Amino acid sequence: MSQHKITIGVSLKMYFGHARTLAWCRDVARVAAQRPGIVPERVELFVLPTFPALAPAITAIDGAPVAVGAQDLHWADSGAYTGEVSAVELAELGVRYVEVGHAERRRLFGETDEVIKLKTAAALRHGLVPVLCVGEPDRVDADAAIGIVHDQLDAALAEAPAGRVIIAYEPVWAIGAPQPAPDEHIRAVCAALRGSGRDTASVIYGGAAGPGLLGRLEGTVDGLFLGRFAHDPAALATVLDEAAALVIKEDAR
């Protein structure tokens, strides 16, 4: 029997206020709890709220098959870094995942490959699963995109200790777009990332990802990284049902 795991992640970015974030987390917890196929071993779901919502989100989700992660971290374990949050504190809170190197962090906050490398290492050092974002800035063919994301991945993992990594392929030109990248493009790039040599890596796709995409990409990605399409818990429920259906289909083979 295949034991392939499908991973669904959601980043809320800075779209919601505090009360709405917690209400959304409670809704998502109910959605996940109502689906017996959503178990971490087969269909894994994680959500990334803002820093102030992390602790109350963990409480709101308690008991449901949903993990909570952070949208960023600092590379140092402690020190005079005003406004920053360490992997040490995140792990102490009960956070299990942390996003690293999103295109918006690179573009708006000047994060370099060196910074992303240090953050990836910090996450793994403290038992967190980095959700490592890679993606080509401009629309190019699949071969060119593969070269770009491989360079980003190699730089990020250059000093990474052992541990699981989730590679989130997000072509920058598809983030916030009306449609995701073409299916064949996603398949080609994700296949190359799957063969990157990191045995503990899962490869998920983000960038205008939503309901229907997971089925079209069946067998070529390990899941999806959702943004605004998951603001509606019903849309997220649809994606979770698609993931559970794929697991059932694989087990029947």
Q: Which amino acids are annotated catalytic?
A: 102, 170
Rounded alpha-carbon distances, angstroms, from residue 68 to 27, 130, 233: 14, 12, 16
Residues 6+ apart with CB under 8 A from 193: 134, 149, 150, 153, 167, 169, 201, 203
Distance CA 166, CA 253 (A): 26
Q: Are 235 and 211 in contact (CB under 8 A)?
A: yes
Tokens of 134: 């890679």
Q: What is the CA radius of gyration of the chain?
A: 17
Q: What is the C-alpha separation between 229 and 60, in angstroms, rounded?
A: 21
Specify whether the CB–CB gap between 64 and 32 falls below 8 A: yes
For residue 83, what are the contacts with CB-CB under 8 A and spacing of at least 6?
Answer: none
Neighbours of 70 (CB within 10 A): 24
Give the pairing of strands 223-226 and 201-206.
Answer: parallel
Q: Nearest 10 degrees: CA dihedral of 206, 26, 215, 95?
A: 50
